[in-house]
Amino acid sequence: MGVMRIGHANLKVMDMEAALRHYVRVLGMKEVMRDAEGNVYLKCWDEWDKYSLILTPSDEAGLRHVAYKVEHDADLDTLRARIVAYGISTEMLPAGALPAVGRQLLFALPSGHEMRLYAQKEQVGTDVGSLNPDPWPDDKQGSGVHWLDHCLLMCELNPETGVNRVAENARFMKECLDFHLGEQVMAGPDHSIQAAAFMFRSSTPHDIAFVGGPGNGLHHIAFFLDDWADVLKSADVMAKNKVKIDVAPTRHGITRGTTIYFFDPSGNRNETFAGLGYLAQPDRPVTTWTEDEIGRAIFFHSGELNEAFTTVYT
């Protein structure tokens, strides 16, 4: 019962054709449909639901909403009751409000980010099928990302005023949606301020993460790759296509994953993230990083924090 995994992200883009070149040619996604409002829907080769990314024409970049898939349609009613009891208003969107998707439970996180839950989305199968499949499709492009893996949201954190949307979001996700805390960053003189929270519902180190900053926004959406070699190839693909790279290939201390960060043409940060790092389990002790080790926690190899990494977001 409850949330299984991330379902899709809806990003705002300022130049649709440039965005499509990026997500198709560089990342290797496939366009599956367009709607009358100009939204474009894409999927990765190893995903079986119809789409995992929606691109919306806009005069600014950023996240419109992020959606997570639940196991049963009845879960939407159970979770809605919890969310309302928690003090957050909800709206139930009818089936078809998004193409190929059943009814959706819409609400805002304490940080203000729009989240949706749904149980049903049309299944079209992976590009290699489910009967005696090959390990990858022959027409895989670019980085050849497997699936949309997670998102990281920037949340207002101001110790002077006592505002901490990271902690508020983490509490909400735990109490209402049964997420578990895998890792956290604790800041302040006595390490009492939760400055980042990495949370999971599946077996990966994080299905969603929250990091403190001056305001709320999108830090990045991440796509899964198999291993370090795939991350290096992804960097080569980006260099060939003159993609703006934010952080060259490295390893995280947090999650142990290998990574590269880069931007789409509108300025939305992407990540290709490889390896499970570890098997996330509800009884696994929470890993805590302290503020004095934040550089190594984020960029394990250099141990140095790139200031733009936490100050630039959409």
User: What tokens were used for 129?
Assistant: 């099928």
- Exactly one of 68, 118, 261, 313 is catalytic; which is it? 261
Q: What is the pLDDT of residue 134?
A: 95
- Exactly one of 146, 150, 180, 219 is catalytic; which is it? 150
Per the CB < 8 A criterion, the answer to whether 76 and 118 are in contact is yes
Does residue 84 carry a pLDDT above 90? yes
Which of 238, 211, 241 minimizes the C-alpha distance to 313?
Answer: 211
Q: Is 191 a catalytic residue?
A: no
pLDDT, the chain, mean: 95
Give the whole-angstrom CA distance, residue 207 versus residue 221.
11
Does residue 253 carry a pLDDT above 90? no
- Exactly one of 41, 113, 220, 313 is catalytic; which is it? 220
Share of the chain above pLDDT 70, in %: 100
Q: What is the pLDDT of residue 298?
A: 85
- Exactly one of 68, 206, 219, 313 is catalytic; which is it? 206
Q: Please write the tens of the pLDDT for every residue from 89-121.
A: 999 999 999 999 999 999 999 999 999 999 999
- The alpha helices in the chain, defined as continuous H runs, are 16-20, 73-86, 165-177, 228-240, 294-298, 307-311
Q: Is 86 a catalytic residue?
A: no
Region of residue 19 (left: phi > 0; alpha: psi -120 to 50; beta: else): alpha
Q: What is the pLDDT of residue 92?
A: 98
The total number of residues shown for the chain amounts to 314
pLDDT bracket for residue 277 (50, 70, 90)? confident
* CA pseudo-torsion sign 78, 84, 87, 88: positive
Residue with tokens 């996180």, as numbered in its chain: 109
Domains in the chain (CATH in brackets) are 3-118 (3.10.180.10), 148-311 (3.10.180.10)
- Exactly one of 271, 293, 301, 304 is catalytic; which is it? 271
Task: For the chain, report the end-to-end CA distance as a whole number of angstroms.
Answer: 33
pLDDT bracket for residue 306 (50, 70, 90)? confident
Q: Is 301 a catalytic residue?
A: no
Q: Is 293 a catalytic residue?
A: no
Region of residue 142 (left: phi > 0; alpha: psi -120 to 50; beta: else): left
The one-letter code for the residue type at 268 is N
Q: What is the mean pLDDT of residues 70-75?
A: 98
Choose the weakest-confidence range: 69-78, 209-218, 244-253: 244-253
Does residue 294 carry a pLDDT above 90? no
Q: Is 180 a catalytic residue?
A: no
Q: What is the mean pLDDT of residues 140-163?
A: 95
Q: What is the pLDDT of residue 1?
A: 74
- Exactly one of 22, 146, 180, 252 is catalytic; which is it? 252
